[in-house]
Amino acid sequence: MSTEKEKELAAKAAIKYIEDGMTIGLGTGSTAAHMITALAEEVAKGLNIVGIPSSESTKKLALANGIPLTDFANISAIDINIDGTDEFDPYLQLIKGGGGALLREKILAFNSKLNIIIADCHKQVSRLGKFKLPIETIPFATPILIKKLRIMNLHPILREKDNSPFITDEGNYILDLDITHISNVAQLENTLKQLPGIVETGLFLDIADIVIIGRGDTTEVFK
């Protein structure tokens, strides 16, 4: 069974939690794209929901698939947020941001009653950190942050696209950090959030309620 099929299986399983009248957080990435396709099929059949997208790319995809959208001016909470992940550990702690959408993704997740994470089985790890930790930084502060993060042994790498810095939907940069030697990720999160210029990190701690993965031709659910 291909990784793509596993993502699709997880996405379809997550859709089953959705009920008529709900506001749904729409994640970003290839797994979330499967969820958007599956959700669009239900909307076409008459399911009455509104989505709130976590990125400009997801917004485009949702609109192209006929999913009605809203924003935070019109709602006070999201019923269910469904998003992918780059890693999850046995405690359902996550590293996200591989697609560079971590800031809006975390805002959606924080304002959701239920967070469902969908993934292929390769995202399951015993300890976070094999995937480099993305952090979103203000361009003005990024050069000094790189110096500080180097001293902290986090080996920051400025993410690039077409030989220029990758620019997020909020106009910021992404630094990818090596956290393989870090055992206390909660402490790291606190330390990073105290550095002016770091807008958000890709550590999603105590946020996921349910993780659904595709493994082979079945799904597994972690709570």
Judged by the rule CB under 6 A, the positions of this chain that interact with ligand 5RP are 27-31, 83-86, 96-102, 105
CB within 8 A of 66, min separation 6: which ones?
40, 43, 44
- Asked whether residue 99 is marked as a ligand-binding residue, the answer is yes
CA distance 40 to 50: 11
- 136 catalytically annotated: no
Tell me the closest approach of the beta carbon of residue 156 to ligand 5RP, in angstroms: 18
**Could you tell me whether strands 133-137 and 173-177 are parallel, antiparallel, or unpaired per DSSP bridges?**
antiparallel
Comparing CB distances to ligand 5RP, the nearer of 8 and 83 is: 83
Cβ neighbours of 44 (radius 10 Å)? 11
- The answer to whether the beta carbons of residues 83 and 151 sit under 8 Å apart is no
| Ligand-binding site membership of 60 (annotated) | no
Between 98 and 156, CB nearer to ligand 5RP: 98
Amino acid at position 37, single letter: T
Q: Is 31 annotated as a binding residue?
A: yes
Q: Is 123 annotated as a binding residue?
A: yes
Alpha helices (H) along 16-112? 30-44, 56-64, 102-110
Which is closer to ligand 5RP, CB of 85 or CB of 201? Answer: 85
* Annotated catalytic residue within 6, 8, 87, 105: 105
- Cβ of residue 166: shortest distance to ligand 5RP, in angstroms? 11
Feature table: binding site for substrate:
28-31, 83-86, 96-99, 123
Q: Provide the annotated active-site residues.
A: 105
